[in-house]
Amino acid sequence: MGARPAVKDAVSDADGAIVAIACALKLLRMKEKGDDLEGDVILTTHVCPNAPTEPHEPLPSMRYPVSVKKLVEYMVDSSADAILSIDTIKGNRIVNQKGFAISPTVKEGHILRVSEDLLEIMQITTGSLPIVLAITMQDITPYENGIYHLNSIMQPSTVTKAPVVGVAVTTESAVPGCAMGASHPVEIEMAARFVIEVAKSFTQGKCRFYDGKEFEKIVKKYGTMNHLQK
């Protein structure tokens, strides 16, 4: 959330945690009004006000006060049927649009097709064409293996069998993760609204992160890829 004492305010990389906390508050308010969802929604995040920074291409990024492996072990609940991993991805040249993007679904080392149900929800909540985050095999391997990662957004996929989709808050220009004054309320609100709508639809059984039959066919034809999780 911050890089004090070097940075005297919330940093750009705080957006992911802000979205998660906003979603928790929204769900609490819904429950107070009797708008219960039909399944459980678990929200976890990581808040550190004085995290260090580190060099990263093309722009400096925030470091974690503990290992990413330890973080995801705490943040990923083993009972989850599906996971949305919310993060800020601004310090890159991969996504050049302001708003938020979703990744293809990742399950047990396989990068699967982008969920049509999630694309539909994204179009409805934003009123615009969906933006898809390009990810690579490097991004779905453990973060501290010495291989380049765009960032840590897909790390939950390394510790679960559940399907994982990244929800990335993005910008048109490349912005360092440690930059001040770079959080935009409109994009944060849209990302949070998307997460809430996915939670509503998924708990009603109306939203699929992946095609189970196709996944079985892929594994049967080409084998497992869960060694990439190690």
Query: Across 109-150, where does the E strand assignment appear?
Result: 110-111
Neighbour count for residue 69 (Cβ, 10 Å): 15
C-alpha distances (whole Å) from 73 to each of 52, 148, 159, 218 are 21, 21, 7, 27
Please list the alpha-helical segments (H only) found in 60-136.
68-75, 116-126
Residue 6 domain flag: no
Residue 5 maps to a domain: no
Distance separating alpha carbons of residues 22 and 191, to the nearest angstrom: 10
pLDDT recorded at residue 60: 66
| Helix (H) / strand (E) containing 53 | strand 53-54
Q: Mean pLDDT in runs of 10 for the chain (230 residues)?
A: 81 93 97 96 92 74 83 94 96 91 98 98 97 97 94 96 97 87 93 98 98 98 96
Query: How high is the pLDDT of residue 229?
Result: 95
- Residue at 176 is within a domain: yes
Range of the domain at 95: 12-229
Would you state the pLDDT for residue 6? 76
Domain presence at residue 36: yes
**How confident is the model at residue 128, as a pLDDT?**
96
Kindly state whether residue 177 falls inside one of the protein's structural domains: yes
Determine how many CB atoms are found less than 10 A away from the CB of residue 196.
18
Q: How many domains does the chain have?
A: 1
- Give me the pLDDT at residue 51, please: 85
Does a structural domain hold residue 124? yes
Residue 172 within any structural domain of the chain = yes
Asked whether 110 and 218 are in contact (CB, 8 A), the reply is yes
Residue 215 lies in a domain: yes
Q: Which helix (H) or strand (E) holds 106?
A: strand 106-107
CA distances from 210 to 66, 106, 163, 224 (A): 32, 9, 7, 16
